[in-house]
Amino acid sequence: MSALRNDCFALPPGVNWTPVEEALERLRSRLHPVVGVDRAVPLSQVNGRILANDVFAPRAHPPSNNSAVDGYALAGPVTRVPCVIPLVDGRSAAGEPYTGQVPEGHAIRILTGAVIPAGTDTVVLEEDCEVTDQQLHLNGTLKAGANARKAGEDIKAQDRILTAATRLTPTQISVLASVGIESVDVYQRLRVGVLSTGDEVKPVGAKVTDWQIYDANRPMLSALVTQLGYELVDLGHALDRAEDVKEALERGAEQCDLILTSGGVSAGDEDHVSKTLKAHGDISNWRIAIKPGRPLALAMFQGTPVVGLPGNPVAAWVCALRFGAPAMALLAGGEWFEPQGYVMPASFSKNKKPGRSEMLRARVRDGKVEAFGSEGSGRVTGLAWSEGMVELDESAQQIEPGTPVRFIPYSSFGL
Query: Rounded distance, CA 143 to CA 112, Å?
Result: 18
Residues 54 and 174 reside in one and the same domain: yes
Instruction: Evaluate whether residue 194 is within a structural domain.
Output: yes
- The full DSSP string for 254-305 is HH-SEEEEES--SSSTT-HHHHHHHHHSEEEEEEE-EES---EEEEEETTEE
Query: Rounded distance, CA 161 to CA 172, Å?
Result: 9
Residues 75 and 51 reside in one and the same domain: no
Instruction: Evaluate whether residue 53 is within a structural domain.
Output: yes
The pLDDT tens digits of the residues spanning 374-415 come to: 887 778 999 999 999 999 999 999 999 999 999 999 999 999
Residues 301 and 222 reside in one and the same domain: yes
Contact status, residue 298 vs residue 283, Cβ threshold 8 Å: yes
Instruction: Evaluate whether residue 6 is within a structural domain.
Output: no
The verdict on pTM exceeding 0.85 is yes
* 96 Cβ neighbours under 8 A, 6+ residues apart: 114
Instruction: Evaluate whether residue 381 is within a structural domain.
Output: yes
Which residue, of 149, 170, 197, is where some domain finishes?
Answer: 149
Residues 172 and 124 reside in one and the same domain: no
Instruction: Evaluate whether residue 14 is within a structural domain.
Output: no
Residues 321 and 204 reside in one and the same domain: yes
Residues 220 and 108 reside in one and the same domain: no
How far separated are the first and last CA of the chain, in Å rounded? 27
Q: How open is the CA angle 93-96-98, to the nearest 5 degrees?
A: 80
Which residue, of 187, 210, 234, is where some domain finishes?
Answer: 187
Residues 204 and 165 reside in one and the same domain: no
The pLDDT tens digits of the residues spanning 74-115 come to: 999 999 999 999 999 999 999 999 999 999 999 999 999 999
Residues 255 and 139 reside in one and the same domain: no
The pLDDT tens digits of the residues spanning 190-248 come to: 999 999 998 888 988 889 898 888 999 999 999 999 999 999 999 999 988 889 999 99
Instruction: Evaluate whether residue 249 is within a structural domain.
Output: yes
Residues 238 and 311 reside in one and the same domain: yes
Q: How many residues does the chain have?
A: 415
Residues 317 and 284 reside in one and the same domain: yes
Task: Count structural domains, the chain.
Answer: 4
Instruction: Evaluate whether residue 41 is within a structural domain.
Output: no
Q: What is the CATH number of the domain that holds 311?
A: 3.40.980.10
Peptide bond into 313 cis (omega under 30): no
Q: Residue 71: which domain range?
A: 66-149
- pLDDT above 90 (res 285): no
Q: What is the CATH number of the domain that holds 171?
A: 3.90.105.10
Instruction: Evaluate whether residue 13 is within a structural domain.
Output: no
% of the chain beyond a pLDDT of 90: 74
